C-alpha cells in the first residue's frame, strides 16, 4: 500500500481510533527496537558487528556503537530492560538510562525513566562526568598550533588544539568577524570557511578595513545540577570559578530541559567599584616579574570555594596565562597582603591549602594536594 493510499484509508477512522492506533504504532516500533538490540547483542557475542553495518543501514558508526553498548548494558539491568520491552521507553530515553543505571539503581530508574525527557536523562549522564582539575589541566597542556608549507600548492596547511574555553573564545571572535564581512551589494556571500580565513588573517596582522573590534562572546551554561558547559563541553568547577570573576563571558543558568532560567551579567558578581579599585591599584599583572598591562583578569587570592571573599584584600589582577596557573585550577597561589608593596609571594597551592586548614575541604582539594596528601 502506498503512503497516499494508507492516508486515504485512515481518513475513514474516528479521532479516538487514530489516537489509539498511533500509541500502538509507537509501542510496536519500540518493541522492534528491543528485538533489534537483542539480535545485536548476540551478533556482538559472535564478534560479527563492525562498522560496515552502519554503512549498510545508512546510520552513523556512532549510532551502531551506541546500540551495541545499550544491548550489552541491558542484561545487567533487567528492570529497565523489562520496561523497555514493554515499549515504555523511547530510543533516546533507553540509551541515556542504560548509561545512568547500575545493578543497584536498576529498579529505581525503571520507575523514573519513562517520565523523564531524554534531554533530562542526558544531562544526568553528563552530570556524572564533571571534569576534574587534572582533566582540565590536561586539556590546557595539550594546546598547540601547527602549520606546514606545501611547496606544490604554495600554501600553508595548519590547525590548532585549544582547551574548552579558550577554543570557544577564539572561534567566537573569528565567527563574529566573519559575520561582519558582508558582501558588496548584489554580490553573493563568500563561504563561511573563506570568511573565517580572512578573519584569522585580519586578527593576526591587524590589516583590513576598519571594523569595530569583535569581542569573544562565550556563553557558559550552568545547569541547576551537574557541570557547567561551554558549547556542550563540561568544564571543571575550578575553571569556571576563575572565570566567573571576569566579564569575559556570559553565564546562562539553565534548567533540566536546557531552558534559560536566568542570565548573569558577570560584571555584577564583583561590585564594579571594587573591581575598578583593584584594577587601578594593580596596573599590571601581579605574578612576580610579569609586567603585562592588557588582558588582565581579576583573581581571588583565596578562591571563593575555599572560603575566600570579594574583599579587595583578597583580589588582584593577573594576565590570563598566569591566571590559569593559579588556584583553584592551577598549582600555584599568590600569598600575602596585595596592597602592601612587595608583600605578595608565589607559593605552591599546597602551602595555601595547609594554611587554610583541613576544615575548608575545598572541592577538588584532593587533586590540588596530589597523591602525597
Residues engaged in binding Zn ion (CB under 5 A): 285, 287, 290, 292, 319, 322
Separation CA 124–CA 121 (nearest Å): 5
Q: How far is the CB of 320 from Zn ion (least distance, A)?
A: 8
Q: How far is the CB of 321 from Zn ion (least distance, A)?
A: 6
Comparison of 74 and 322: residue with beta carbon closer to Zn ion: 322
Comparison of 81 and 301: residue with beta carbon closer to Zn ion: 301
Within the chain, strands assigned E span 144-150, 155-161, 218-223, 229-230, 233-234, 249-254, 260-264, 296-300, 315-319, 332-335, 345-348
Q: Within 13 Å and on the Cβ side, how many CA atoms surround 370?
A: 9
Q: How far is the CB of 289 from Zn ion (least distance, A)?
A: 8
Q: How far is the CB of 103 from Zn ion (least distance, A)?
A: 50
Comparison of 139 and 323: residue with beta carbon closer to Zn ion: 323
Distances (CA, A) of 138 to 12, 130, 132, 163: 63, 14, 10, 9
Comparison of 79 and 292: residue with beta carbon closer to Zn ion: 292
Task: Decide if 340 contacts 330 (C-beta within 8 A).
Answer: no
Comparison of 280 and 372: residue with beta carbon closer to Zn ion: 280
Q: How far is the CB of 145 from Zn ion (least distance, A)?
A: 20
Q: How far is the CB of 287 from Zn ion (least distance, A)?
A: 4
Q: How far is the CB of 283 from Zn ion (least distance, A)?
A: 12
Among residues 97, 98, 95, the alpha carbon closest in space to that of 115 is found at 97
Comparison of 92 and 295: residue with beta carbon closer to Zn ion: 295
Ramachandran sector of residue 309 (left: φ over 0; alpha: ψ -120 to 50; beta: rest): beta
Task: Decide if 101 contacts 80 (C-beta within 8 A).
Answer: yes
Q: How far is the CB of 131 from Zn ion (least distance, A)?
A: 25
- Beta strand 332-335 with 296-300: parallel, antiparallel or unpaired? unpaired
Task: Decide if 178 contacts 195 (C-beta within 8 A).
Answer: yes
Comparison of 177 and 322: residue with beta carbon closer to Zn ion: 322
Ramachandran sector of residue 186 (left: φ over 0; alpha: ψ -120 to 50; beta: rest): left
Long-range pairs for 364-372 at CB < 8 Å and ≥24 separation?
Answer: 364/132, 364/133, 364/236, 364/237, 364/238, 364/305, 364/328, 365/306, 367/132, 367/133, 367/134, 368/133, 368/327, 368/328, 368/331
Comparison of 84 and 319: residue with beta carbon closer to Zn ion: 319
Q: How far is the CB of 317 from Zn ion (least distance, A)?
A: 9
Comparison of 249 and 319: residue with beta carbon closer to Zn ion: 319
Residue 228 has which C-alpha cell? 557547567
Among residues 204, 270, 237, the alpha carbon closest in space to that of 367 is found at 237
Amino acid at each position: 500500500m502506498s503512503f497516499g493510499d494508507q492516508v486515504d484509508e485512515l481518513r475513514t477512522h474516528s479521532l479516538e481510533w487514530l489516537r489509539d492506533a498511533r500509541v500502538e504504532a509507537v509501542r510496536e516500533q519500540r518493541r522492534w527496537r528491543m528485538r533489534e538490540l537483542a539480535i545485536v547483542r548476540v551478533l556482538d557475542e559472535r564478534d560479527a558487528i563492525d562498522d560496515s553495518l552502519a554503512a549498510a543501514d545508512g546510520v552513523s558508526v556512532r549510532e551502531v556503537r551506541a546500540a551495541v553498548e545499550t544491548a550489552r548494558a541491558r542484561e545487567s539491568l533487567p528492570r529497565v530492560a523489562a520496561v523497555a520491552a514493554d515499549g515504555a521507553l523511547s530510543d533516546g530515553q533507553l540509551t541515556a538510562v542504560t548509561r545512568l543505571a547500575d545493578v543497584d539503581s536498576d529498579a529505581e530508574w525503571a520507575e523514573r525513566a519513562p517520565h523523564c525527557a531524554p534531554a533530562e536523562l542526558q544531562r544526568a549522564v553528563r552530570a556524572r562526568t564533571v571534569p576534574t582539575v587534572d582533566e582540565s589541566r590536561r586539556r590546557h597542556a595539550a594546546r598547540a598550533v601547527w602549520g606546514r608549507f606545501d611547496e606544490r600548492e604554495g600554501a600553508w596547511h595548519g590547525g590548532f588544539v585549544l582547551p574548552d574555553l579558550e577554543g570557544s573564545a577564539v572561534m567566537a571572535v573569528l565567527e563574529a568577524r566573519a559575520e561582519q564581512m558582508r558582501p558588496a551589494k548584489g554580490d553573493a556571500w563568500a563561504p563561511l570557511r573563506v570568511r573565517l580565513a580572512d578573519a584569522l588573517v585580519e586578527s593576526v596582522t591587524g590589516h583590513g578595513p576598519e571594523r569595530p573590534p569583535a569581542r569573544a562572546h562565550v556563553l557558559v551554561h550552568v545547569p541547576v545540577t551537574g557541570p557547567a558547559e561551554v558549547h556542550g563541553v563540561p568544564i571543571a568547577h575550578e575553571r569556571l570559578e576563575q572565570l566567573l570573576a571576569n566579564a569575559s563571558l556570559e553565564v546562562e543558568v539553565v534548567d533540566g530541559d536546557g531552558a534559560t532560567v536566568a542570565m548573569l551579567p558577570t560584571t555584577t558578581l564583583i561590585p564594579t567599584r571594587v573591581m575598578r579599585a583593584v584594577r587601578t591599584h594593580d596596573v599590571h599583572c601581579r605574578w612576580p616579574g610579569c609586567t603585562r598591562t592588557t588582558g588582565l583578569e581579576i583573581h581571588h587570592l583565596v578562591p571563593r570555594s575555599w572560603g575566600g571573599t570579594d574583599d579587595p584584600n583578597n583580589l588582584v589582577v593577573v594576565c590570563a596565562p598566569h591566571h590559569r596557573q593559579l588556584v583553584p585550577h592551577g598549582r600555584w597561589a599568590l600569598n600575602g597582603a596585595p596592597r602592601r608593596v612587595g608583600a605578595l609571594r608565589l607559593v605552591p597551592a599546597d602551602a595555601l591549602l595547609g594554611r587554610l586548614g583541613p576544615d575548608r575541604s575545598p572541592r577538588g582539594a584532593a587533586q590540588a594536594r596530589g597523591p602525597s596528601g
